[in-house]
Amino acid sequence: IEGPRFGTKAESQLFRQWNGDVVNMSTVPECVLAREAGLCYAVVCMSTDYDCWREGEAVDIQMILKTFKKNAEKVKKLLIQTIPKIKHEKCECMESYKTAIIGGE
């Protein structure tokens, strides 16, 4: 789902037919643009709610914001532990822009 928005019931049913377990709205086009720019890019996803297919459990923005706030605390801890472990050396991401755009350099 290209967000920020809630998915439609039709989209939800399609993902269920595909046996999808998770629907995400925050990784494309960002990951593609990062690669084209030669940037190293990682994603931390946070589940906030069930999709609209689940009967009797409507998506409520207040519930989502409450869950998002709890998840944000978990992500802060994760980043504090993880960032110091990142190796700052060249990788293939930095060169990917050469083949990501038609025509190259």
Q: Report the chain (105 residues): mean pLDDT per 10 consecutive residues.
A: 80 90 83 88 87 77 92 96 89 81 59
68, part of any domain: yes
> Which is the catalytic residue, given 40, 49, 53, 100?
49
86, part of any domain: yes
26, part of any domain: yes
37, part of any domain: yes
84, part of any domain: yes
36, part of any domain: yes
Domain count, the chain: 1
Is 21 marked active-site?
no
What tokens appear for 74 in the block? 């978990």
What tokens appear for 54 in the block? 């689940």
Domain containing residue 51: 9-100
**Burial of 73 per CB tally in 10 Å (0-12, 13-18, 19+):** exposed
Which pLDDT value is given to residue 6?
Answer: 80
Is 51 marked active-site?
yes
> Which is the catalytic residue, given 7, 23, 51, 52?
51
4, part of any domain: no
